[in-house]
Homo-oligomer: A and B are copies of this chain.
């Protein structure tokens, strides 16, 4: 459940508060890496370092302290976060790309080449002409779900045969008083 872990309180004082001592004018609170520090860390990461050992962390921290205040734990966390986030990013990008391809597939199937005009768009990547894609999708008539879209039909069907089959993500037309779009079936989201 939403048990709030009785944990981390951020104990930070306000800006410029105590934190005492600091000769380098370091702000109390969390580590604020210097651009040089980030540069070096990134370089290390790029060179293949992922999970530095304690010794390596110590050394790196020691060296990076040349550019500003730093602790070993900062280095440790930096690598942890960097690694995790790169992994996340990769995962999400992959899925997103798959989705986009699916959408483009649908689009081209539906529109059937009514877009020759303006074709001089740079085909470098699918990300360049975002606007166009967005417009296209937005203009895409929601009612034009003809039988060709078997998949979409299935997705948008108010059918409720997907009780425990979490594999299928179904829509559930809500009251539809003036809802011009299908809504997510929230029940499935809490499985």
Decide if B127 touches A25 in the complex (CB within 8 Å): yes
CA distance A103 to B162 in the complex (A): 54
* B9:A66 contact, CB within 8 angstroms: no
Q: Is the CB of A92 within 8 A of B73?
A: yes
Cα of A84 to Cα of B71 in the assembled complex, Å: 18
Assess whether A99 is in contact with B61, with CB atoms less than 8 Å apart: yes
Shortest Cβ distance from residue A74 to the other chain B in the assembled complex, whole angstroms: 9
User: In whole Å, how far is A71's beta carbon from the nearest beta carbon of chain B?
Assistant: 4
Whether the pair B189, A59 counts as a contact (CB closer than 8 A) is yes
Known: A25-B127, A62-B99, A138-B13. A67 touches B181 (CB 8 A): yes
Q: In this complex, what residue of B is CB-closest to A163?
A: B65
A91 touches B54 (CB 8 A): yes
Chain B residue with Cβ nearest A34: B138
Instruction: Annotate A111-134 by CB proximity to B: 1 below 8 A, 0 otherwise.
Output: 000000000000001111010011
Q: How far is the CB of A8 from chain B (nearest CB, A)?
A: 11
| Complex interface: chain B residues within 8 A of A158 (CB) | 72
Using a CB–CB cutoff of 8 Å, the interface residues on chain A facing chain B are 2, 4, 6, 9, 11-15, 21-22, 25-27, 29, 32, 34-36, 38, 40, 43-44, 47-50, 52, 54, 56-73, 76, 89, 91-93, 95-96, 99-100, 103, 125-128, 130, 133-134, 137-138, 152, 154-156, 158-160, 162, 165-166, 168-169, 171, 181-184, 186, 188-190
